[in-house]
Structure 1
Amino acid sequence: MTTHELKQPGVSMADKIARIDQICTQARILPVITIAREEDILPLADALAAGGIKTLEVTLRSAHGLKAIQVLREQRPELCVGAGTVLDRKMFAAVEAAGAQFVVTPGVTQDILEAGVQSDLPLLPGISTPSELMMGYALGYRRFKLFPAEISGGVAAIKAYGGPFGEVRFCPTGGVNPGNVKSYMALPNVMCVGGTWMLDSGWIKNGDWGRITDCSAEALALLD
């Protein structure tokens, strides 16, 4: 099935690519957030924002993911809130209804890629092979998450992708840390990185929001 055979959204693929570029370029670091307790939603987001991280990928890895997206969109409208770990069309529809501003998947299926084509929401599909990239490319996608980045070849792989896929840009996620983040961000076909190192579970459990703020600020400072 081609994009010409799919129900077309009001927003073109070119506009959605431009929106992903804007989101990722402004973010530089996209925190991959899993909410374990509902009471952590606002203080965690506030701690990240205080450190300069104002674009958030809230995953559906916990029962609180959809609620977190709804709460943040309603109560923190200054933040850019996306949904991560979206696995199928039903989850895509749910995060769209919750108010997510962008969608991220860990991998691809033909159905989820087609859902992204048909939606007005920008989708950043996750890939780990050239063949998966080409599935998305055939439907008009030019921006992808490389996941898990380090296991999938890391910096060397992204450099290699630049040859056959010159239009494509990436958000590498998985294994990105303070020791390698600058190497990723130095690549011309990397627009941002995803990470969790500023989201230590112990800090969150203990409400140590100041440490999260400091770590977020330090992470962004590595890229200045």
Structure 2
Amino acid sequence: MADQNPGQNPSKTEKLLTILKLQPVVPVLIVDDAKSAVGLARALVAGGLRAIEITMRTPAALDAVKAVAAEVEGANVGAGTILNAKDWEAAVKAGSTFIVSPGVSPGVLSAAKDSPVPLLPGAATASEVMTLREAGYNVMKFFPAEQAGGAAYLKALSSPLAGTLFCPTGGISLKNANDYLSLPNVICVGGSWVAPKELVAAGDWAAITKLASEAFALRA
């Protein structure tokens, strides 16, 4: 019988949902110095944010994923901004427990199909969502959330594309997070506000733990 879920099979979808359900906010981090990654991740975990996305936007990113995966108890570290199969392979080898992409490409979908690590693929339009659903995905990143139409746009998708869950990311803050979290098709949001660059540079982990605690307390 032909595989009806050629991309994200049910077991991988469940694995992804287990991670995303850990908290209402997934920190989206740009790490410039791998040495700070462990302290930063521990601060976030202490505040309740155990699922952490480190974006592949800096030379330090892979080393940061490796360090967090090896040294931070309780953390589920994922790699974001995965653009191709080469990125995917490197991120998984570094210890990523989930992968996030800003959109999709044949190369990324092929890598995802052959990997035990689940993918949270990006989509910004109804057509992109439909394409991903045909590929076996029903949990997606809505990106860039605010720029693509915000909570009102995502709400409008909830009825015609029922059964699809989203993690909106892009332009989300403590002020507007609940606009998204209140929607029936949103499982969590992604945000960078929980780890401001100035606090990371200063190593002010207590302040970051406080921000993480506030984010963890968000409820729809």
Give the structure-1-normalised TM-score. Answer: 0.92
In the other structure, the counterpart of 2:90 is: 94
Is residue 202 from structure 1 mapped to residue 202 from structure 2 by the alignment?
no
Is residue 171 from structure 1 mapped to residue 129 from structure 2 by the alignment?
no
Runs of 4+ aligned structure 1 residues displaced above 6 Å come to none
Is residue 34 from structure 1 mapped to residue 21 from structure 2 by the alignment?
no
1:194 partner letter: G
User: Does the Cα contact within 8 Å between 1:25 and 1:191 map onto a contact in 2?
Assistant: yes
SS in 1 for 2:167: strand
How far 1:73 sits from its partner (Å)? Answer: 1.3
SS in 2 for 1:27: coil
Alpha-carbon distance in 1 for matches of 2:4, 2:13? 20
Equivalences, count: 219
User: Does the Cα contact within 8 Å between 1:117 and 1:139 map onto a contact in 2?
Assistant: no
Segments of 5+ residues of structure 2 without an aligned counterpart are none
Give the structure-2-normalised TM-score. Answer: 0.93
1:13 partner letter: N
How far 1:77 sits from its partner (Å)? Answer: 4.0
User: Does the Cα contact within 8 Å between 2:23 and 2:216 map onto a contact in 1?
Assistant: no
Is residue 80 from structure 1 mapped to residue 81 from structure 2 by the alignment?
no
Residue identity (%): 37
How far 1:4 sits from its partner (Å)? Answer: 4.4
In the other structure, the counterpart of 2:40 is: 44
2:88 partner letter: F
Task: Tell me whether 212-221 or 143-152 shows the greater mean CA deviation.
Answer: 212-221
In the other structure, the counterpart of 1:61 is: 57
How far 1:111 sits from its partner (Å)? Answer: 2.2
What do you get for the CA RMSD once the two structures are aligned?
A: 1.9
2:113 partner letter: V
Residue-by-residue CA offset, 1:43-99 (whole Å, 9 max, x unaligned): 111111121111100111111111111111111242111111111011011111111
In the other structure, the counterpart of 1:104 is: 100
User: Does the Cα contact within 8 Å between 1:113 and 1:136 map onto a contact in 2?
Assistant: no
2:163 partner letter: E
1:152 partner letter: A
How far 1:5 sits from its partner (Å)? Answer: 10
How far 1:154 sits from its partner (Å)? Answer: 1.1
In the other structure, the counterpart of 2:144 is: 148
User: Does the Cα contact within 8 Å between 2:12 and 2:118 map onto a contact in 1?
Assistant: yes
Is residue 19 from structure 1 mapped to residue 15 from structure 2 by the alignment?
yes
Residue-by-residue CA offset, 1:135-166 (whole Å, 9 max, x unaligned): 21111011100011011111111111112211
How far 1:222 sits from its partner (Å)? Answer: 2.9
Segments of 5+ residues of structure 1 without an aligned counterpart are none
